[in-house]
Amino acid sequence: MTQLAARGVVKAYGPTPALRGVTLDVAEGEIVAVTGPSGCGKSTLLHCLAGILRPDAGQVTWRGERIDTWSEAARSKLRRTEFGVLFQFGQLVAELTAAENVALPLLLAGTGRREARAAALGWLERLDVADVADVRPGRMSGGQQQRCALARALVTEPRVLFADEPTGALDTLTGEQVLTHLVRLARQQHTSVVLVTHEPRIAAYADREVMLRDGVVDTTGLGLERPFAGERR
Amino acid sequence: MSTTHVLLGLLAAGNRHGYDLKRAHDTRLPRARPLAFGQVYATLGRLARDGLVVATGQERESGPDRTAYALTGRGREELDAWLAAVEPPAPYVTSTLFAKVVVALLVADVDTARAYLVAQARAHTDRLRELTAIKTAPTATLDDVVAADYAIVHLDADLRWLRTTLDRVADWHREVHP
């Protein structure tokens, strides 16, 4: 069942078009890789789907309801409650420990401090970084920071996880460990994932790959807008 | 790949008979080109003739007699020399994939060359996904992961080349057919 959809989404930055009419469906529990060369619009599409950016034209729907027309406050609430976001780097609050960072979304949603900390510790444990729970980001490795950021993105048990080049700043092995955790936990929770990457090797973890080229879905067949052989779900 | 040296390496861990060697080979080198039992026994015969291994006796369980082999001192020297020799990076661009794209451009139009590149990229992508599924399966051993990694990074490199060449194919065709 389609959970999140873009319909003819158009977005420009001043005179520069980023998306020129993109249509994309994301099913419940589906992991979709959005790929393409630099500047093709893949991050802009992620931002539009996540309600961070408002499209200039076209629609974004969440469970059949248009969200692109919602107020910033309503979209912000949707992001806090239903969506999780993971970027390439620089997401953790430097002054807070790992556990405090992970607990933050729950505290913002009104969860009690003790309960939020317990949930945060549970997620750090699942991501094998419980040992840095009381450490601040500046004293963690890049891989530990990204695992904490992933824990923070998943702590609210979102329906959709948006991941923009989540391993881009990590070495191959560390990036792979983060990605393996991401995919395993998303499948366990039946969380949909929109995974933006320019690497075929990373896209291969997804159920489906959609390639963008110059702001539109590539229809030459290279983007493989179809489930791959050997479906894994 | 040198089957001879792989078998010498497997024997360095302890004496084995042919059946054991074949099983150890398949475990340690998953997704390698299949190694037939006949090839194992023929190789062992050559190694024994050259003094690199020696038969250590017969053992019999429920089936036929099996001859166990041990690495000799000369066998160990040969193995160490092989391991110490750095493999030179391939000096020539000789892949069939590359040759096909060049020939497609020579004998066909841009669209045909492009269609070939797209079809090839699809096949590579599907294989990339199969190998990713193998290495991320809960049952995967580190042997599986390391073997899959080796294939994945090579497929990934080919895919990058295919996609970059797809962007260059029109210019390339103009250069080939001025």
In chain B, domain spans:
3-84, 96-176
pLDDT in tens, A74-89: 999 999 889 999 988 7
**For residues B74-100, average pLDDT:** 84
For chains A and B, CB pairs below 8 A equal 49
Q: What was the pLDDT predicted at B170? A: 84
The answer, yes or no, to whether residue A231 has pLDDT greater than 50, is no
CA distance A54 to A57: 9
Task: State the pLDDT confidence band at B177, using cuts at 50, 70 and 90.
Answer: confident
Those residues with Cβ within 8 angstroms of residue A153's Cβ, 6 or more apart along the chain or in another chain = A84, A85, A86, A161, A163
CB atoms within 10 A of CB A156: 19
Q: Does domain B3-84 have CATH number 3.30.450.370?
A: no
The answer, yes or no, to whether residue A214 has pLDDT greater than 50, is yes
Q: Measured between CB atoms, which of A180, A222, A228 is closest to B129?
A: A228
DSSP codes joined into one string, B90-158: P-S---HHHHHHHHHHHHS-HHHHHHHHHHHHHHHHHHHHHHHHHHHSTT--HHHHHHHHHHHHHHHHH
Q: Measured between CB atoms, which of A183, A221, A228 is closest to B126?
A: A228
Those residues with Cβ within 8 angstroms of residue B100's Cβ, 6 or more apart along the chain or in another chain = B116, B120
pLDDT in tens, A133-157: 999 999 999 999 999 999 999 999 9
Q: What was the pLDDT predicted at A225? A: 43
**For residues A193-219, average pLDDT:** 91
Amino acid at A116: A
pLDDT in tens, B38-72: 999 999 999 999 999 999 977 666 666 688 999 99
> Among A110-114, A196-200, B15-19, B174-178, which is the least confidently predicted range?
B174-178
Optimal mutation site among B117, B136, B158, interface A, most CBs of chain A within 10 A: B136
Chain B residues with CB-CB distance to A221 below 8 A: 118-119, 122
**For residues A93-106, average pLDDT:** 96
pLDDT in tens, A18-75: 999 999 999 999 999 999 888 899 999 999 999 999 999 999 999 999 999 999 999 9
* Contact call for A230 and B133, based on CB within 8 A: yes
pLDDT in tens, A145-198: 999 999 999 999 999 999 999 998 888 888 888 899 899 999 999 999 999 998
Residue with tokens 């997804």: A206
Q: Which domains does chain A have, with CATH numbers?
A: 1-82+158-228 (3.40.50.300), 90-156 (no CATH)
* Contact call for A221 and B128, based on CB within 8 A: no
Q: What was the pLDDT predicted at A222? A: 59
Sheet with A216-217, strands from edge to edge, namely A83-86, A160-164, A192-196, A31-35, A208-213, A216-217
Helical spans, DSSP H, in chain A: 42-49, 72-81, 98-108, 113-126, 142-154, 172-189, 200-203
Residue A209 C-alpha, separation from nearest chain B C-alpha, in angstroms:
10
Residue with tokens 């807008």: A225
**For residues A104-129, average pLDDT:** 94
Torsion of CA B108, B167, A45, A13, to 10 degrees: -130
Residue B120 C-alpha, separation from nearest chain A C-alpha, in angstroms:
9
Residue A49 C-alpha, separation from nearest chain B C-alpha, in angstroms:
26
Q: Hey, is the C-beta of A205 within 8 angstroms of any chain B C-beta? A: yes
The answer, yes or no, to whether residue A109 has pLDDT greater than 90, is no
Q: Hey, is the C-beta of A180 within 8 angstroms of any chain B C-beta? A: yes
Q: What was the pLDDT predicted at A224? A: 47
The nearest alpha carbon in chain B to A179 belongs to: B136
Rg (CA), chain A: 17
The answer, yes or no, to whether residue A226 has pLDDT greater than 50, is no
The answer, yes or no, to whether residue B76 has pLDDT greater than 70, is yes
**For residues A90-119, average pLDDT:** 93
Q: What was the pLDDT predicted at B153? A: 92
Q: Can you give the pTM of this predicted structure?
A: 0.82
Chain A residues with CB-CB distance to B152 below 8 A: 201, 204
Q: Measured between CB atoms, which of A204, A220, A224 is closest to B132?
A: A204
Q: Give which of A117, A81, A74 is closest to A99, Cα–Cα.
A: A117
Q: Measured between CB atoms, which of A201, A205, A222 is closest to B163?
A: A222
Task: State the pLDDT confidence band at A230, using cuts at 50, 70 and 90.
Answer: very low
CA distance B71 to A20: 67
Q: Measured between CB atoms, which of A183, A204, A232 is closest to B128?
A: A204
Crossing angle of helices A142-154 and A113-126, in 10° steps, is 130
